[in-house]
Amino acid sequence: MSRYSFSRVLTRRRDTLPPPTALPLQPFSFLFHRPRFSTKQSKPSLYQLPLNPNPLHISDLLTMAPNAHIKKAITAMKALGIEEAQIKPVLKNLLTLYDKKWDLIAEDNYRALADAIFEAQDTQAVEEKKGKEKKANDEAEGSAAEVDRGKRKAHETVEDDEDALDEPERPLKRLRRRGGEVVSASASNSPSLGSPCLNETHDQETAPVSLPFHPIPTENDPDAGALVIPKGEPSTDIPFTSTHQDSLENGNSSAPMPETEETNGRVEEPHGSTAATDDVPTTTIERASEHTVATTPEGISALELASSATGEVKINLSFAPATGGSSLHAPSMDELRRAMEDVCLRQYKILDPNFSVSRFLNDIASSYLELATKAEQPANQSPENFPSLTTNVDVLKKSAAAMAFAAEGRNDLAAKVMSSANQSPESLQTTKVVDVLSKSAAATTANTSTDRNGHVRDDENSGVGESMGLVVVPECHISADELRMISSVSNITFGKETVEIPWVNEVNTKVPSPFRYMTQSLVYLDAELKFSLGNVKDQCCSSCCGDCLSPAMACSCATALGGFAYSKDGLLQKDFLEECISEARNPQKQVVQYCKECPLEIAKNEETLEPCKGHLKRKAIRECWINCGCTKKCGNQVVQHGLHTKLQVFFTSNGRGWGLRTVEKLPKGAFVCELAGEILTISELVQRSSSEKLTSPVILDAHWGSEEVSRVNRALCLDGTHYGNISRFINHRCVDANLIEIPVHVENMDLHYYHLGLFTTRDIEAMEELTWDYGVEFNDQVYPTRPFHCRCGSEVCRNVKRSSKSKKSKKRA
C-alpha cells in the first residue's frame, strides 16, 4: 500500500494550480509612445509595455541631420492637419523632455509629438474656458475688487496661452487607453492614430482609462525607472476621458509620485490650483513631500495618500515587504490614483468631470478632522465612560427585539436588550411595538441636553439622547450577530424558508449562537462538484409529463433505482423506508464498502496510511429535476422543494443545548428537511476541526469504496456550523431516532455529492423533539471531529457501551 501524507495531498493540489500568470501584455502596444528601457533598469514596473514592433530604424535616425529630423516631424504633423505654428513650440518642449532622443519622438509616426500637441491644445482650451467662467463668476458677485482680480486672471490666462507657443515646459498629457484602444485626449478623430471619439455618453465598457506615465531614461541616468518625473516638467492632470478635461483645472497630477524621498515629485493642490512648481511654498508642496513612500524602522513601506489642509489628519497606505515578499513594490501615488479613478469611473459610474480621487481623499481627511474637532470631549470625561453613538435605527431594532422577547414571556432577555436603551421590560410586556417605539422616542427627548459644541448629549443616567438622527446610548454588550439573531426572534430562518420557524428558551437566558441561514448547501472552497445540464441530459426522462407518479409505467428516473421512492401521498414508500431503516439500524443488513486509499486516512496526514474502516453503502432516492419533462407538482420532486413542516427551535432541558421539535403531528415517511451546510473536502474538514468545535459535520460517504469515488477533492462532507439550515439544531439519538437521513440525488447521479433528506421513521406527535442518528462512534478516533458525551436517553445508546464497542472495533482493525 502506498504511503500518503497530508503534505503530499497539498503538493498534488498545488500541482493542479495553473502556473502564476504573467502580467498581461498590453495589446495594441504599437500605439504607445513608449521610451525604451535600459537593460540595466533595476525596477521594472507595470508601466513597462511590450516593445513597439515597428520602430523607426535607429540607423535612419543617426544619419539624419537635425534639420531633417525637424522637417520630418513637421511633415508628419502637417499630414494630421496641424499647423506649423502649433508644432514647433511643442516639438521644442518634447526635445527637452526626451533629451533629444529622436528615435523616441519619431516612434509610431511621431505619436508622442502629436499627442503633446493635442494636449497643449486641450490645456489651452480648458484654461480659456476656466478664465471665462471665473470672469463670469466674479462679475456676478458684483465686487469691484473681485472683478479686478477676475480680469487680471483672465488676462493672465490669455497671456499664458500666447506664451505657450514658446514656453518650453508645457505640461504633457498622456494617452489614455482602454481595452486595447489608445486615445489621445483631444485627438479622437485623428485618422492616423485611429482613436475613437470620446464623449460623455461613451459606454463604460469602452471608456478609456489613463495611461501610466512612461519613464524617460537619460544618458546620465539610464536606469531611470518608471517613477521618475522629467526634470522641470510640471505635474499634469489626466482625467478619465476627453470630457473630463475640467479636472485638469482641479489639480490632478499625471506625474507619478516618487518612490523614494530623493525623487523629484510633486502633487496636486487639492483645491483648484493648477500645477505646482518647486518654488511655491504652499500646502501643495507640503503634501508633495508627504506623498513619498516612507520606510518605517520596522520595514513597513507607507504611502501617504492625503491629509487635512494643515496636516493634522493623514491617510496612509502601508504594507510590510516582509509579508508581501520581495516581489512587492510600493506603487506611486499617481499610479494608485489613476487606478482608483478608473474604478470610480467604471465601477461606481462617477462621471463628474470635476471628480478627483486625490481631492476626495483630502476631503476625507478634512472631514475626519472636522468630526474629531466636534467630538472633543470635556476634560473630565474619559473615553471609557463616554457613551457610544448609536443610530436611531439601532435603538428601534433593540426595541423590536425586546418586544419580541417580551411577547414570548422572556422578560429577562427583553431586559438585556433594552437595558442599553433604558427601557423597562415591564413596559414592553404591556404595550405594543409602536408604543415601545414612541416611549423610546420620548425617552430620548426627555433626558437630553446640549454640550458646549452644540451637540445633544444625554443627561446624567438618562442613557438616551438624540440629535439630528443620532442618539447617545450606553454601550450595548450584545454583539452585532447576536442582535441580528434576536432581532429575527420570530423566525430563525430569516424568512428564507416558506415556513417560519421560531425559537423559544424555557430553560435559561441563552440565545442561539449566530450563524448564516441558507436553505441549500454550498461549496466552501475546494470541493469539486459537477452539476451540468450536459451531464444529466441522458439521465433524465424528458418524455415524462405532469406527475411522474401517475402513469402506470414509471419513467426512467424511477426505474434507475427500481421504482419510485415516494408514494402518491407525498410520503416515502413504506417498503423503501423500512429497508432504509433496517439497513441503518441492523448491522447484519449493512453493506460496507472499503476504499483502497480512504480519504479519511489520507487527510489524517500520518506517515502510514491506515486501512479504510469501511463505509456503509446506502439506498438512495432519485428525484426528477428541472431537466425532466414533468411539472413542479410531480410526486417525484420532494426534497428539492424544501421544508414545509411547522417546526420550533427550543432549548433542551438535559444539557444537549438547542433542539428542534415539530409543532404539528407528522406521519411516518414524511420529509422534514434537508441537511444543508457548507460542502467541504475532507482535508478542509480536518483543518477546520483542528481549530474550532464543529457541530457534527456529516461525511457524504454513501458511495465511497466504489472505484469512481477516489479523488480527495471529491470526497466531501457537510458542515452546518457557520452556514446551514434548520437541521443544524437537530440533536443526535442513538439507533432509534425518529428521523433518518437518506441520500437524495437531485441534480445528477454524481456519487460524490448528494443531498441528505431527513424523513420520519415513525409517526411523531406535535411538540415532540426530532432526532436523527449522527452515526457517530463515540470511541472512534477516525472521524476528524470530537465526539460529545451522548445524552440521547435511548435504551440502545452507543455511548454507554463504549468499552465493548471499542474492543470490537480494535479487533476489526
Ligand X SMILES: C[S@@+](CC[C@H](N)C(=O)[O-])C[C@H]1O[C@@H](n2cnc3c(N)ncnc32)[C@H](O)[C@@H]1O
Interface residue with ligand X among 247, 390, 731, 738 (CB under 6 A) is 731
Q: In this complex, which beta carbon is closest to ligand X, that of residue 658 or of residue 753?
A: 658
Q: In this complex, which beta carbon is closest to ligand X, that of residue 472 or of residue 797?
A: 797
- Segment interacting with ligand X (CB under 6 A) among 50-58, 451-459, 604-612, 790-798: 790-798
Using an 8 Å Cβ cutoff, are 395 and 441 in contact?
A: no
Report the nearest approach of ligand X to the CB of residue 773 (Å).
Answer: 10
What DSSP string runs through 216-282? ---SS-TT--TTPPPTTPPP----SSGGGTHHHHTT---SPPPSSTTS------TTS-----TT--S
Report the nearest approach of ligand X to the CB of residue 755 (Å).
Answer: 17
3-state secondary structure of 248: helix
Radius of gyration of the chain (CA): 37
Report the nearest approach of ligand X to the CB of residue 729 (Å).
Answer: 5
CB crowding 103-127: b at 16 or more within 10 Å, else e: bbbbbbbbbbbbbbbbbbbbbbebb
Q: In this complex, which beta carbon is closest to ligand X, that of residue 212 or of residue 659?
A: 659
Instruction: Tell me, rounded to whole angstroms, the distance of Cα 605 from its chain centroid.
Output: 32
Binders of ligand X: how many residues, by CB under 6 A? 14
CB-count burial class (<10 Å; 0-12, 13-18, 19+) for 552:
exposed
- Segment interacting with ligand X (CB under 6 A) among 328-336, 456-464, 612-620, 729-737: 729-737
Q: In this complex, which beta carbon is closest to ligand X, that of residue 191 or of residue 793?
A: 793
3-state secondary structure of 686: helix
- Decide: is 725 part of the binding site for ligand X (CB under 6 A): no
Interface with ligand X in residues 465-524 (CB under 6 A): none
Interface residue with ligand X among 202, 613, 618, 656 (CB under 6 A) is 656
Q: In this complex, which beta carbon is closest to ligand X, that of residue 478 or of residue 776?
A: 776
Q: In this complex, which beta carbon is closest to ligand X, that of residue 454 or of residue 655?
A: 655
Using an 8 Å Cβ cutoff, are 216 and 98 in contact?
A: yes
Interface with ligand X in residues 581-600 (CB under 6 A): none
3-state secondary structure of 416: helix
Report the nearest approach of ligand X to the CB of residue 772 (Å).
Answer: 10
Q: Which of 324, 368, 351, 9 is CA-nearest to residue 200? A: 351
Report the nearest approach of ligand X to the CB of residue 517 (Å).
Answer: 13
3-state secondary structure of 294: strand
Interface residue with ligand X among 287, 604, 728, 798 (CB under 6 A) is 728
Report the nearest approach of ligand X to the CB of residue 199 (Å).
Answer: 59
Report the nearest approach of ligand X to the CB of residue 659 (Å).
Answer: 6
Contact track, ligand X, 615-654, x by CB under 6 A: ----------------------------------------
Interface residue with ligand X among 56, 422, 788, 798 (CB under 6 A) is 788
- Segment interacting with ligand X (CB under 6 A) among 397-405, 669-677, 751-759, 789-797: 789-797
The residues, any chain, with a CB within 8 Å of residue 398's CB and separated by 6 or more, are: 417, 418, 420, 421, 423, 476, 483
Cell 441580528 -> residue: 484
Interface residue with ligand X among 129, 585, 791, 802 (CB under 6 A) is 791
Q: Which of 677, 673, 675 is CA-nearest to residue 643? A: 673
The residue number with the shortest CB distance to ligand X is 657
Q: In this complex, which beta carbon is closest to ligand X, that of residue 205 or of residue 795?
A: 795
Nine-digit cell string for 652: 433542551
Q: In this complex, which beta carbon is closest to ligand X, that of residue 404 or of residue 694?
A: 694
Cell 495594441 -> residue: 28
Q: In this complex, which beta carbon is closest to ligand X, that of residue 314 or of residue 801?
A: 801
Nine-digit cell string for 802: 463504549
**Integer Cα distance of 746 and 754 in angstroms:** 7
Interface residue with ligand X among 190, 696, 725, 748 (CB under 6 A) is 696
Interface with ligand X in residues 151-210 (CB under 6 A): none
- Decide: is 695 part of the binding site for ligand X (CB under 6 A): yes
Helix (H) or strand (E) holding 265: none
Report the nearest approach of ligand X to the CB of residue 458 (Å).
Answer: 38
**Integer Cα distance of 141 and 770 in angstroms:** 79
- Decide: is 657 part of the binding site for ligand X (CB under 6 A): yes
Report the nearest approach of ligand X to the CB of residue 646 (Å).
Answer: 19
Q: In this complex, which beta carbon is closest to ligand X, that of residue 292 or of residue 799?
A: 799
3-state secondary structure of 650: strand
Q: In this complex, which beta carbon is closest to ligand X, that of residue 185 or of residue 649?
A: 649
Q: In this complex, which beta carbon is closest to ligand X, that of residue 37 or of residue 515?
A: 515
Report the nearest approach of ligand X to the CB of residue 807 (Å).
Answer: 23
Helix (H) or strand (E) holding 535: helix 533-536
CB-count burial class (<10 Å; 0-12, 13-18, 19+) for 267:
buried
- Segment interacting with ligand X (CB under 6 A) among 11-19, 92-100, 374-382, 725-733: 725-733
**Integer Cα distance of 6 and 12 in angstroms:** 10
- Decide: is 732 part of the binding site for ligand X (CB under 6 A): yes
- Decide: is 783 part of the binding site for ligand X (CB under 6 A): no
**Integer Cα distance of 416 and 272 in angstroms:** 53
Report the nearest approach of ligand X to the CB of residue 559 (Å).
Answer: 36
Interface residue with ligand X among 517, 658, 671, 753 (CB under 6 A) is 658
Cell 425617552 -> residue: 443
Indicate the DSSP class of residue 29.
G
**Integer Cα distance of 650 and 657 in angstroms:** 9
Report the nearest approach of ligand X to the CB of residue 411 (Å).
Answer: 23
Report the residue count for the chain.
813
Interface residue with ligand X among 648, 661, 792, 798 (CB under 6 A) is 792
**Integer Cα distance of 423 and 413 in angstroms:** 12
**Integer Cα distance of 541 and 476 in angstroms:** 58
Interface residue with ligand X among 524, 729, 772, 783 (CB under 6 A) is 729
Report the nearest approach of ligand X to the CB of residue 486 (Å).
Answer: 16
CB-count burial class (<10 Å; 0-12, 13-18, 19+) for 454:
exposed
- Segment interacting with ligand X (CB under 6 A) among 76-84, 208-216, 559-567, 784-792: 784-792
CB crowding 65-75: b at 16 or more within 10 Å, else e: eeeebbebbbe
What DSSP string runs through 696-724? --EE--TTBTBTT---GGG-EEEEEEEEE
Report the nearest approach of ligand X to the CB of residue 793 (Å).
Answer: 8
Q: In this complex, which beta carbon is closest to ligand X, that of residue 35 or of residue 697?
A: 697
**Integer Cα distance of 406 and 106 in angstroms:** 81
3-state secondary structure of 148: helix
Contact track, ligand X, 307-346, x by CB under 6 A: ----------------------------------------
- Segment interacting with ligand X (CB under 6 A) among 281-289, 374-382, 531-539, 656-664: 656-664
Q: In this complex, which beta carbon is closest to ligand X, that of residue 291 or of residue 733?
A: 733
Contact track, ligand X, 31-70, x by CB under 6 A: ----------------------------------------
CB-count burial class (<10 Å; 0-12, 13-18, 19+) for 792:
buried
**Integer Cα distance of 674 and 743 in angstroms:** 10
Q: In this complex, which beta carbon is closest to ligand X, that of residue 311 or of residue 657?
A: 657
Q: In this complex, which beta carbon is closest to ligand X, that of residue 229 or of residue 726?
A: 726
Residues that bind ligand X (CB under 6 A): 656-659, 695-696, 728-729, 731-732, 788, 790-792
